[in-house]
Structure 1
Amino acid sequence: MGWMLFAGVIALPVAEIMVWVKMSAVIGAGATILLSVLAVLIGLSILRRQGLAVLFDARSRLEQGEMPVEAAFDGLCLSAAGFLLVLPGFLTDILAVALLLAPVRAALWIWIERNSSVVVSQTGTGPGRGAGPRSGPVIIEGDFHEVDPKAPPVDRRVDPQG
């Protein structure tokens, strides 16, 4: 798996340069540079807008009692699309445009749901009043000592100096 990641890190920039050179030959160097700058600006705009939008959507879904997992995935995909648009190159731009399309994100979400397992673990009793009503008196065990309200307060902190 590690060597595949390494190969991808090496192959992607090489492929991007090859496509960039071909695009320059087809549409001209000026248009290629303009498209690249435009893609970066759009990507930065998406990244800036997505951060808060995902947080607000997740919060509203939590208030409705829903788990915002799918909304968070949508936000992650849109943020990834913005990041890919910021990277120079047309191949990453094509992948970014695909992630911007809602049907592609939905299909990707379905694929992830089918090919992954979810484990939910919960501890504690959750909100409420506890175990419920008890029969008999409430017994609280403990030690006590009487304190004279007129006596000066006693400093019971441990002195670290000595």
Structure 2
Amino acid sequence: MRFIGFIIFFIYVYFEVSFFITVANTMGVFLALICIIATSILGFSLVKSQGLKNFSIMQQKIANKQSPKNEIIKSVALLFAGFLLLIPGFLTDILGAILLIPNVQEHIVKFIVRKMPIKSTFASSQTRYQNEDIIEGEFKRKDDE
């Protein structure tokens, strides 16, 4: 049971190296290395721009007192995609690029939200008291007279 992580790691490395060798044989080693570096840089910039856009949407939803759970899940998908794009290799770059596609993110969000047992609600202290009946007035105790 302890060796499952090592086995998965070595299987990943085997597929990554064999895929790199295949690409390097068709394009050349230097061009393959440039492609890996370019996808890392391009992936980082895409994750940064989409992350900032997603962050502004989250701020708007919080300001409108809506639940930002979909955007939080998208942010985690973007973080995971950025991590995959920064790891050198073509397979991880392909998986990271797939996670950057908005339709794929929507399917991931729908799948995770369906599996979530917790429902979230946002309420500030101001809206909590607006729903109750509050009657303002003055009173005088009869004991004081």
**TM-score range with shorter-chain normalisation?**
0.7 to 0.9
Larger relative contact order (CA 8 Å, sep ≥ 6): 2
1:133 matches 2:135: yes
User: In the alignment, is the contact (CA less than 8 A) between 1:24 and 1:32 conserved in 2?
Assistant: yes
Percent same amino acid among aligned pairs?
A: 21
2:107 corresponds to: 107
Q: After superposition, give the CA deviation of every residue in 1:24-65 in whole Å (9 maximum; x if it has no partner).
A: 112211221111011111122134334433332211111122
TM-score by length of 1: 0.67
- 8 A Cα contact 1:84 1:92, kept in partner: yes
Count, aligned residues: 138
Q: Which runs of 5+ in 2 are unaligned?
A: none
Provide the TM-score with structure 2 as the length reference. Answer: 0.74
Q: Which runs of 5+ in 1 are unaligned?
A: 140-162
Which has more radius of gyration? 1
What's the offset of the Cα at 1:83? 2.1
Gap change, CA 1:118 and 1:10, over 3 Å in 2: farther
Contact 1:50 1:79 in 2 (8 A): no
**Deviates further, 108-117 or 128-137:** 128-137
Counterpart of 1:61 in structure 2 is 61
Could you say which structure has the higher helix fraction? 2
Paired with 2:88 and 2:107, the residues of 1 have a C-alpha distance of 26
**Are residues 1:78 and 2:72 paired?**
no
Aligned to 1:27: 27
> 1:90-109: per-residue Cα shift (whole Å, max 9, x none)?
11111111111111111112
Distance 1:89 1:138, change over 3 A: farther
SS at match of 1:105: helix
The residue number in structure 2 matching 1:117 is 117
